[in-house]
Structure 1
Amino acid sequence: MASSAHALHILVKHLDKAEDILKQLKKGAKFQTLAKKYSTCPSGKKGGDLGEFRQGQMVPAFDKFVFKGEILTPTIVKTKFGYHIIKTLYRT
């Protein structure tokens, strides 16, 4: 089982905004561009890049998706912070 992963995310307050961003991604918009434009997380300035992190460092729902969900498929995950569009780049 992977012990670390590298992910990008975009954090927004409302589901409809998250769904709109996901639609834009599916039409070919660049993840980093949308993160800079919409994300309320400080990582948005870096294109949503969270870098590499260890399992257990993120809130449970986020952690679960990054370590068990699909790789390279942007997906909406709800946490206490709002709605994240998460794109897991790799796990090691």
Structure 2
Amino acid sequence: MARTAHALHILVKHRSQAEDLMAQLNKGAKFQNLAKKFSTCPSGKKGGDLGEFKKGQMVPQFDKVAFSGELITPHLVKTRFGWHIVKVLYRT
């Protein structure tokens, strides 16, 4: 079982905005560019890069996708912080 994951994410307040960004990604938009432009998380400045983190470090809803969701495919996740689009790059 994976102990660490490396992910990118975009954090926004509203589901409608998150769904719009997902649609843009599906049409070929660059994840890092959208993160820099729209993410409310400080990681947005780095293209949404959260780096590598351990299981249990993130809120449960985020953790679940980070450690069991499909790699590279963007996932929509709701947490107490808002709506995340999570792209898991790899797990170790």
- Distance in 2 (CA, whole Å) between partners of 1:75 and 1:2 is 18
Secondary structure, aligned partner of 2:85: strand
2: CA distance, partners of 1:34 / 1:77: 17
Gaps of 5+ in 1: none
Amino acid in structure 2 at the alignment position of 1:27: K
Residue 15 of structure 1 is matched in structure 2 by: 15
- Opposite residue 12 of structure 2, the aligned amino acid is V
Q: How does 1:53-92 map to 2 (within 5 A)?
A: 53-92=53-92
Normalising by structure 2, what TM-score? 0.99
- Answer yes or no: is 1:2 the counterpart of 2:16: no
Q: CA RMSD in A?
A: 0.3
Q: Distance in 2 between matches of 1:75 and 1:29?
A: 15
Question: 2:24: which partner in 1?
Answer: 24
Q: How does 1:20-59 map to 2 (within 5 A)?
A: 20-59=20-59
Q: After TM superposition, what 4+ stretches of structure 1 lie above 2 angstroms from structure 2? A: none
Partner SS for 2:67:
helix
Alpha-carbon displacement from aligned partner over 1:18-61 (angstroms, at most 9, x marks no partner) = 00000000000000000000000000000000000000000000
- Name stretches of at least 5 consecutive residues in structure 2 with no aligned partner: none
Give 3-state SS (helix, strand or coil) of 1:22's partner: helix
CA distance in 2, matches of 1:54, 1:86: 16
